[in-house]
Structure 1
Amino acid sequence: MPKQKTRTTVAKRFTVTKSGKVKSSKMGRRHILTKKSTKRKRNLRKGYYLEGQVANNIKRQLPY
C-alpha cells in the first residue's frame, strides 16, 4: 500500500481542530482594502467552520 501524503495546499488553507471541525479564514482580506468598509474588514477577520461533505473531503486530504 502506498504512503499517504498530505495535500500541502489544503494544509496551508485549513486546520482541523481537536474536536474534528475544519476551520478556515475568510477570503477577501488580502488587497484592495481601501474601498471596503471598516465593518466589512472587521467581519473578515473572523474565521469560519466548514460543514458537511466539504469538511469530510478536506479531512480526507489531511491524513496527519
Structure 2
Amino acid sequence: MPKLKTKSAVKKRFSLTGTGKIKVKVAYKSHLLSNKGTKMKRQARGTFILCDADQRIVKKFMPYG
C-alpha cells in the first residue's frame, strides 16, 4: 500500500505539540495592520491550540502527524 500524502496547506499552517494537540497561528496579522487596532494586534500575537472539533478535521489531512 502506498504512503499517504500530507496536505501541503496543512503542513504550512499547523504544527503538532508534544502531546498531540494542534497549534496554529492567530489570523489577521499578515498585512493591512495600520487599519487594525492596537488591542487586536496585541491579542493576535503568538499561537493557540485548536478546539477538539477542528483538531479532528485537521488530523484527517495529517496521516502521520
Shared fold (TM-score, shorter chain, > 0.5): yes
Misfit runs of 4+, over 4 Å: none
Identity %: 39
How far apart, in 2, do the equivalents of 1:18 and 1:60 lie? Answer: 18
Gaps of 5+ in 1: none
Gaps of 5+ in 2: none
Tell me the TM-score normalised to structure 1 length.
0.84
State the SS of the aligned residue for 2:49: strand
Backbone CA RMSD of aligned residues: 1.3
Equivalent residue pairs, number: 64
Tell me the TM-score normalised to structure 2 length.
0.83
